[in-house]
Chains A and B, each alone.
Chain A
């Protein structure tokens, strides 16, 4: 321990007892913790279901794409990708709106878990879409930005497999810090049926006519 202890032995023991009791009580009242594989599925469904309200239909767009994003139309699917790794998130939102999408910015907490950064949304963040994130930016001295795309859906078109944990904390799987890569490519047939597809390269695809809001998420 440190040479100038800020907790003495007695206080450490008191706090240890308190935390042990809290942990035991928590373990007794909760089901076993989710495995990563299970969590992946839950995250997708929870994200979609928590995110209702304030939605405008995405439109297919034509013409030249704005600078911060690339928009590609392929049949009934429109795919949006971030292309400017130094883009200001507000600029990305503005570009999306200019391109005809309903878009909003959102900040997420980033925690470090086992050496990896993890984006975390809480029930306080009513519109967290913890999916499809990409990480971008690699500047001076290894500094990096962090921004990602996600989608919100109205409740009536969101996947119906409501997770029991809806409303609890949502955590994504660790996201690798690789510019333009590492989007969470969770295969989710229900979400696909709802008209949203997350591409392996971090792009987000929306089927024409889908009510959706593009969420530009960034580190808080």
Chain B
């Protein structure tokens, strides 16, 4: 009986990024498969607009590809950095869209989304808009921290990586954000249960 060789461990993001920096488009595709849905969910919740969420998500990854020469990933997960890129792209969607105008035109030629998927995304966006209305009065920096903490389930350390700030700053912004919110109002519900990033990084 022949013994099967064990499946090799999937490359971590740091390895994928090394390959991406060497212009490996397939590695880039793997990075998207690993983190794309998570980033899409974040963009959908931040924008509350299912019609643009896929475009924004595509631009986030196109931006990641564009910056591959100047970014060195020295941690096992690219996800915190991708969250940071996604936040900036979402905020500056008008400008980002111009930069990737041609690619977005090609993206529009993809087959339409499945009707059930459209429905799921629309429901998620509607729930997002409800929560966004609760926190829209917060300063942007506090809102960013709150969203990454409550909605995305990131730890203080991961939020610090995503936003490029100190973990202590994450804690103070989160504290201020919560203090500003009406204490009598119900807490913004997480749209998805927070999931440790470590699990997401090693899909089976």
Q: Which A residues fall within an 8 A CB radius of B? A: 1-8, 10-24, 26-27, 32-36, 39, 109-118, 122, 124, 140-143, 169, 171
Contacts of B168 in A (CB 8 A): 141-142
**Which of A16, A32, A124, A142 contacts B95 (CB under 8 A)?**
A124
Pairwise interchain contact A114-B28, C-beta atoms closer than 8 A: no
Cα A20 to Cα B103 in complex, Å, equals 12
Contacts of A23 in B (CB 8 A): 23, 25, 28-29, 65
Complex interface residues of chain B between 128 and 185 (CB less than 8 A to chain A) = 141, 160-166, 168-169, 172-173, 176
Main secondary structure of the interface of A (DSSP, over half): mixed
Which of B25, B99, B192 has most A Cβ within 10 Å? B25
Cα A10 to Cα B200 in complex, Å, equals 19
Minimum Cβ distance to chain A for residue B117 (Å): 5
B6 interfacial by beta-carbon distance below 8 Å: no
B69 interfacial by beta-carbon distance below 8 Å: yes
Complex interface residues of chain B between 7 and 28 (CB less than 8 A to chain A) = 21, 23, 25-26, 28
Contacts of B95 in A (CB 8 A): 109, 122, 124
Contacts of B172 in A (CB 8 A): 140-142
**Which of A13, A16, A21, A114 contacts B72 (CB under 8 A)?**
A114
Pairwise interchain contact B164-A115, C-beta atoms closer than 8 A: yes
Contacts of A110 in B (CB 8 A): 88
Complex interface residues of chain B between 97 and 119 (CB less than 8 A to chain A) = 98-99, 103, 106-107, 110-111, 113-114, 116-117
Question: Given A5-B37, A34-B70, A143-B169 in contact, is the A18-B106 Cβ separation under 8 Å?
Answer: yes
Cα A188 to Cα B160 in complex, Å, equals 34
Pairwise interchain contact A113-B162, C-beta atoms closer than 8 A: no
Pairwise interchain contact B114-A6, C-beta atoms closer than 8 A: no
Pairwise interchain contact A142-B169, C-beta atoms closer than 8 A: yes
Q: Which B residues fall within an 8 A CB radius of A? A: 21, 23, 25-26, 28-29, 32-33, 36-38, 40-41, 44, 53-54, 57-58, 61-62, 65-74, 81, 84-85, 88, 92, 95, 98-99, 103, 106-107, 110-111, 113-114, 116-117, 120-121, 124, 141, 160-166, 168-169, 172-173, 176, 191-193, 195, 200, 203
Pairwise interchain contact B166-A113, C-beta atoms closer than 8 A: no
Cα A1 to Cα B92 in complex, Å, equals 26
Contacts of A115 in B (CB 8 A): 81, 160-161, 164
Minimum Cβ distance to chain B for residue A10 (Å): 7
How many residue pairs, one in A and one in B, have C-beta atoms under 8 Å apart?
A: 156
**Which of B40, B124, B173 contacts A141 (CB under 8 A)?**
B173
Contacts of B84 in A (CB 8 A): 111-113
Contacts of A26 in B (CB 8 A): 65-66
Pairwise interchain contact A122-B21, C-beta atoms closer than 8 A: no
Pairwise interchain contact B70-A14, C-beta atoms closer than 8 A: no
Pairwise interchain contact B73-A6, C-beta atoms closer than 8 A: no
Pairwise interchain contact B99-A2, C-beta atoms closer than 8 A: no
Question: Given A18-B106, A23-B25, A122-B95 in contact, is the A10-B114 Cβ separation under 8 Å?
Answer: yes
Pairwise interchain contact B85-A15, C-beta atoms closer than 8 A: no
**Which of B53, B62, B67, B120 contacts A19 (CB under 8 A)?**
B62
Pairwise interchain contact B195-A27, C-beta atoms closer than 8 A: no
Pairwise interchain contact B88-A5, C-beta atoms closer than 8 A: no
Pairwise interchain contact B195-A114, C-beta atoms closer than 8 A: no
Minimum Cβ distance to chain B for residue A164 (Å): 14
Cα A32 to Cα B23 in complex, Å, equals 8
Pairwise interchain contact A19-B32, C-beta atoms closer than 8 A: yes
Pairwise interchain contact B113-A113, C-beta atoms closer than 8 A: no
**Which of A2, A24, A114, A122 contacts B192 (CB under 8 A)?**
A2
Contacts of A14 in B (CB 8 A): 110-111
Cα A8 to Cα B37 in complex, Å, equals 8
